[in-house]
Structure 1
Amino acid sequence: QAAFVGMGGEVCVLEQMLTLECELSVVLGRNAIGECALYPVAENLHEAGILDFSIVPARVPSALAQQAQTMAQAIAQQLAYCGVMAVEFFVVNNGQLVVNEMAPRPHNSGHYTLDACLTSQFEMQVRTLCNLPIGATRQHTPAVMVNLLGDLWGDSQPNWAALLQHPQAKLHLYGKQSARP
């Protein structure tokens, strides 16, 4: 009651503070006839509330990864969703999953699919929306996606050639003019 009064009587939603073990996301593609393809579960690490990097496959027990995929698919099914969607989860209390966010689009935690999966999330978006066969989502190589924000390097460009000296490094720049959460 005191908190409500302290907020000036404004209607608000209060959430319990959770102790997080980690954060996961599941990217999926679902077409208009209900066929669904799930990508491997990503483990996401954030810095200042912004995705810093994703590790795929996630370093969690396979049963937990399967549960996250099952929940994400059920959400897409209940919404009769068509397209690519990401569902983010908090992992709390010894493996309990709590849905954190749904992103109805290709998602930055799925950018790894460009180089590590048979069908990227971007191709999957086209396939699902154009009634084309759903692509295979099998991951053919482990991946770490680092989210580079444009404000990291100021006015000068980083030495991309140095980064690309690693034979398995891939660089994808999206041309964003400003960094934003």
Structure 2
Amino acid sequence: AESCVLEQRVALKCEISAVVARSADGVGRVFPVAENRHRNGILDVSIVPARVAPALTQRAEEWAVQIARRLDYCGVLAVEFFVTAGGELLVNEMAPRPHNSGHYTIDACATSQFEQQVRTLCGLPLGDTHLLAPVVMVNLLGEAWQRGQPQWERVFNVPEAKLHLYGKHEARAGRKMGHYTMLGATADAALQKALIVRSALYPDWTE
């Protein structure tokens, strides 16, 4: 007979992530928790603040800080969590770097995750991580280039939208070519506007 490991099938509600920065002298600062949606295994949308119970976001933030401390980590670290249907948190993945789900910090936080990374490496004090406004980040994949250069005016015409392109020359299906963020009065309002813009950029996609 062979030994085997049996794992219980877990009912998952959503995924959230917490990005934490920790300096060499042990100071940790965590960014607001993001709620992440995926499409075909690729991060599609990050919604901040995450629309889960405040106790869950607090626990995710505390665990991210604790993980960085236990690892004696210096730099930016992203910790992804599954939220179960029963309201539990399960650590899903850790990324020892600025993370895609933290790109919203460029436009919606007092300090971005990239500036925070520089601060940790240069021995500078960590910056403020508080959220300036609810925000949604939408990844731009190569599919948006199927009919040629996307009509970026559909992003620019929305005052609350911010476009970031990565300068990649070849657009392929599933390749992250950039992202845009959408600010709003609430996370739901930002999400609604962000998805309207995405529908215009991806005319061949369906939800």
TM value normalised by structure 2: 0.78
The equivalent of 1:151 in structure 2 is: 143
Among 100, 105, 114, the residue aligned to 2:92: 100
Partner SS, residue 51 of structure 2: coil
User: In the alignment, is residue 17 of structure 1 matched against residue 9 of structure 2?
Assistant: yes
Q: Which has the higher contact order (CA 8 A, sep 6+)?
A: 1
Partner SS, residue 106 of structure 1: coil
The equivalent of 2:52 in structure 1 is: 60
Deviation, 1:180, is 4.2
Distance 2:10 2:121 in 1: 37
The equivalent of 2:198 in structure 1 is: none
Distance 1:84 1:99 in 2: 17
Which sections of structure 1, spanning at least 5 residues, go unmatched? 5-12
User: In the alignment, is residue 133 of structure 1 matched against residue 125 of structure 2?
Assistant: yes
User: In the alignment, is residue 39 of structure 1 matched against residue 39 of structure 2?
Assistant: no
Deviation, 1:49, is 1.0
Deviation, 1:17, is 3.2
Deviation, 1:18, is 2.1
Deviation, 1:93, is 3.7
Partner SS, residue 76 of structure 1: helix
TM value normalised by structure 1: 0.89
Distance 2:65 2:49 in 1: 18
The equivalent of 2:76 in structure 1 is: 84
Partner SS, residue 22 of structure 1: strand
Deviation, 1:125, is 0.5
The equivalent of 1:10 in structure 2 is: none
User: In the alignment, is residue 124 of structure 1 matched against residue 94 of structure 2?
Assistant: no
Cα–Cα, structure 1 residues 161 and 99, in superposed 2: closer, same or farther, change >3 Å?
A: same
Determine if contact 2:20/2:65 at 8 Å carries over to the other structure.
Answer: yes
Deviation, 1:3, is 9.6
Partner SS, residue 140 of structure 2: coil
Determine if contact 2:47/2:135 at 8 Å carries over to the other structure.
Answer: yes
Determine if contact 2:142/2:175 at 8 Å carries over to the other structure.
Answer: no
The farther-off stretch of 104-113 and 153-162 is: 153-162
Among 63, 77, 99, the residue aligned to 1:71: 63
Partner SS, residue 53 of structure 1: strand
Deviation, 1:174, is 1.4
Deviation, 1:161, is 1.4
Deviation, 1:167, is 0.4
Deviation, 1:57, is 0.3
Partner SS, residue 170 of structure 1: strand
Partner SS, residue 116 of structure 2: helix
Percentage of identical aligned residues = 60
Which sections of structure 2, spanning at least 5 residues, go unmatched? 177-207
Deviation, 1:162, is 1.8
In the alignment of these two chains, the number of paired residues is 173
Deviation, 1:117, is 0.2
1:27-79 CA-to-partner distances (Å, cap 9, x unmatched) read 11101111001000000011111111000000011111000011111110111
Cα–Cα, structure 1 residues 131 and 14, in superposed 2: closer, same or farther, change >3 Å?
A: farther
Distance 2:61 2:150 in 1: 37
Deviation, 1:155, is 5.8
